[in-house]
């Protein structure tokens, strides 16, 4: 069964709102966290401990370099790199493709011709081959037969330790599509992902409908999704997934200018929508089952596939855990999307690599920054990734005045600003 995502855009927004309710709105810096290892040890205490906000100086000292967390991004006027980058990229961005609806996915006022689909607007037509010259097709499937490109959107989630523990126990890596604002909220959780060998891609700054943004603001959403990952993890990502799959050739051109390959999916588990009440848990399990049945009946014998799943909330993560054994049985290989694409250099920085597909399926599921490879059983410990050491050296114990200042800032913002 095919699961197109052509509607329910409003409910998707609600799903995210519900998902983020696990974040404390009145920030109380009750916990001092200074290491990724300590943070990764906290499990089973959700949400009282695991999701208590914490300050981490490498992030909080840099907050003035970012738009307000969780707010739709705009280019900061004093950010010369961003201003210059947009000035350069904007030359390649079409001006005859206008924004669709708004950033909340309301397309009531649009008169887009879905039949001719001039802008290859995936959200309406599932188009993945751009009509604008010079743009690569979206990645919606993977070339390796009987293979699942395994990935999760919307992290890092503050309560993901049990899920990541499970993946670690299974020697399973995945592609994590991180939201920039989430990376700044939960930097140590983001570190755990890369440190344990997962591939990192961007998922915008504030998680809105990208085709609803003006071009400069869409640029800002992508630009400021890369920056937190570089700040916290030390790498410059080269892939992204549009929230709700909402992308067209105008947005693809901006992503291309920023060196980001667009990754979509073929099937949707609709795990994200369970939180809205629009689908039941049983329906989500059924969607997984349908995908698994396709794998079992040979649908992917000439080329693998990608299903949309999430690190969004405990339901989506628990479902991923409970369905994993069946996925492993049904597919010959379950690998990160970058591995399925044989993309051995996932980041701009050349000191970090992914195993090739052949390496991965032969048991080498991570490679380290020196270029040598580690076995699946010995290279998953935390606090070994050299590319974050520079950031980690800033992880000194924050003092109380620091937290008070941040609390005041949060109150002034009147938002769920978390640090």
Binding site for Zn ion (CB under 5 A): 153-154, 243
User: Which residue, 153 or 199, has its beta carbon nearer to Zn ion?
Assistant: 153
Give the C-alpha separation, 270 to 275, whole Å: 10
Give the C-alpha separation, 377 to 128, whole Å: 38
Give the C-alpha separation, 225 to 13, whole Å: 19
User: Which residue, 154 or 268, has its beta carbon nearer to Zn ion?
Assistant: 154
Q: Are 233 and 387 in contact (CB under 8 A)?
A: yes
CB-based contacts of 323: which residues, under 8 Å, 6+ apart? 285, 288, 292
Give the C-alpha separation, 150 to 127, whole Å: 21
Q: How far is CA 127 from CA 211, 246, 251, in A?
A: 14, 11, 13
Give the C-alpha separation, 153 to 161, whole Å: 16
**Residue 153 among the catalytic residues:** yes
Give the C-alpha separation, 373 to 375, whole Å: 7
Degrees, nearest 5: CA angle 324-330-334: 60
* Active-site hit among 79, 138, 153, 195: 153
Q: Which residues pair with 308 in a beta bridge?
A: 268
Q: How far is the CB of 89 from Zn ion (least distance, A)?
A: 23
Residue carrying the six token digits 């299903």: 307
CB-based contacts of 155: which residues, under 8 Å, 6+ apart? 176, 177, 178, 179, 182, 189, 190, 193, 311, 312
Give the C-alpha separation, 150 to 173, whole Å: 8
Cite the DSSP H helix spans in 196-241: 215-233
- For residue 10, say if its preceding peptide bond is cis, omega within 30 degrees of 0: no
Q: Which residues pair with 139 in a beta bridge?
A: 263
User: Which residue, 29 or 178, has its beta carbon nearer to Zn ion?
Assistant: 178
**Residue 9 among the catalytic residues:** no
Residue carrying the six token digits 């993901």: 160
Residue carrying the six token digits 């499970």: 166
Question: Annotated active-site positions, please?
Answer: 153, 310
């Amino acid at each position: 069964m095919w699961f197109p995502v052509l509607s329910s855009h409003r409910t998707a927004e609600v799903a995210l709102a519900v998902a983020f309710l696990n974040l404390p709105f009145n920030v109380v810096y009750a916990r001092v966290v200074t290491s990724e290892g300590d943070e990764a040890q906290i499990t089973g205490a959700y949400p009282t401990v695991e999701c208590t906000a914490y300050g981490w100086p490498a992030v909080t000292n840099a907050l003035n370099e970012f738009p307000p967390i969780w707010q739709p991004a705009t280019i900061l006027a004093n950010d010369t790199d961003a201003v210059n980058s947009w000035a350069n990229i904007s030359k390649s961005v079409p001006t005859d493709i206008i924004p669709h609806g708004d950033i909340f996915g309301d397309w009531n006022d649009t008169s887009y011709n879905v039949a001719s689909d001039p802008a290859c607007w995936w959200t309406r037509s599932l188009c993945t081959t751009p009509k604008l010259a010079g743009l690569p097709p979206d990645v919606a499937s993977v070339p390796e037969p009987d293979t699942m490109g395994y990935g999760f959107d919307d992290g890092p989630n503050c309560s993901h330790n049990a899920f990541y523990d499970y993946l670690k126990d299974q020697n399973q890596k995945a592609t994590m599509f991180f939201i920039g604002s989430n990376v700044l909220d939960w930097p140590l959780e983001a570190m755990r992902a890369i440190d344990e060998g997962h591939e990192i891609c961007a998922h915008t700054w504030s998680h809105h409908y990208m085709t609803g943004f003006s071009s400069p603001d869409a640029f800002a959403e992508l630009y400021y999704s890369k920056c937190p990952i570089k700040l916290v993890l030390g790498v410059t990502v080269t892939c992204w997934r549009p929230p709700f799959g909402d992308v067209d050739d105008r947005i693809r051109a901006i992503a291309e200018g920023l060196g980001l390959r667009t990754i979509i999916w073929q099937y949707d588990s609709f795990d994200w929508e369970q939180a809205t009440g629009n689908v039941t848990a049983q329906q989500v399990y059924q969607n997984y089952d349908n995908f698994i049945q396709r794998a079992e009946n040979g649908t992917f014998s000439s080329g693998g596939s990608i299903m949309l799943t999430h690190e969004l909330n405990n339901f989506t993560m628990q479902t991923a855990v409970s369905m994993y054994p069946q996925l492993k049985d049904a597919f010959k290989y379950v690998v990160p999307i970058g591995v399925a694409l044989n993309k051995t250099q996932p980041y701009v920085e050349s000191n970090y690599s992914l195993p090739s597909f052949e390496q991965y399926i032969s048991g080498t599921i991570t490679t380290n920054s020196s270029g040598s490879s580690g076995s699946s059983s010995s290279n998953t410990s935390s606090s070994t990734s050299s590319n974050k050491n520079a950031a980690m050296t800033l992880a000194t114990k924050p003092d109380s005045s620091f937290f008070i200042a941040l609390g005041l800032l949060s109150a002034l913002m009147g938002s769920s600003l978390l640090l």
